[in-house]
Structure 1
């Protein structure tokens, strides 16, 4: 009797996870439309990258507290700008679990 209950419990959990992952995938798929990076955006990304490398090479011991605060603020703004215009692939936790289970079953 315990085996039947455990089997049913696992089946219900797998179905629940699968449904959650499929509904989450539909919502994000309709919201996120693939966007191609233009030449201007690519140039701006290179500028941001060069500036970040400059800041990393700086010696912060020589700077005053106010200057370090300004640099920290600038880095946050650059990071925000890069994230806003960047594209990414996002996989929900439920979808990841389903993929792993399918791989285990098939292999």
Structure 2
């Protein structure tokens, strides 16, 4: 009799975790996503194109200061792209707990 109760409790805990992660991810941006997504996509594509241009450049003609400025620009672009990319990240501990719950439930 303990097995069905344990399964029900574990199922309830797993559903609670799943719903809380989903609600946290869906409530992270209260602004309308259509207006900001298009402008962010265009700006992100421009930044990626600039990175490709920098990589394709012949840097052997540049002075030391110009190369340093390019490195700084690349770092800034990468940081800006990283900040715009949003997502839900799970820690290793959370993944292990989820796997254990799935093993116990199934």
Q: TM-score by structure 2 length?
A: 0.61
Does the alignment pair 1:33 with 2:32? no
Aligned to 2:89: 90
Q: Distance in 2 between matches of 1:62 and 1:106?
A: 63
Any unmatched runs of 5+ in structure 2? 1-16
Q: Which residue of 2 aligns with 1:53?
A: 52
Secondary structure, in 3 states, of the residue corresponding to 2:49?
A: helix
What RMSD, in angstroms, separates the aligned Cα atoms of the two structures?
Answer: 2.7
Change (3 A) 1:60 1:105: farther
TM-score (norm 1): 0.60
Deviations 1:4-48 (A, max 9, x none): xxxxxxxxxxxxxxxxxx6xx77xx38x71473521111101100
Structure-1 separation of matches of 2:60 and 2:86: 36
Tell me, in whole angstroms, the C-alpha distance in 1 between the residues paired with 2:58 and 2:99: 46
Q: Which consecutive unaligned segments of at least 5 residues does structure 1 have?
A: 1-21
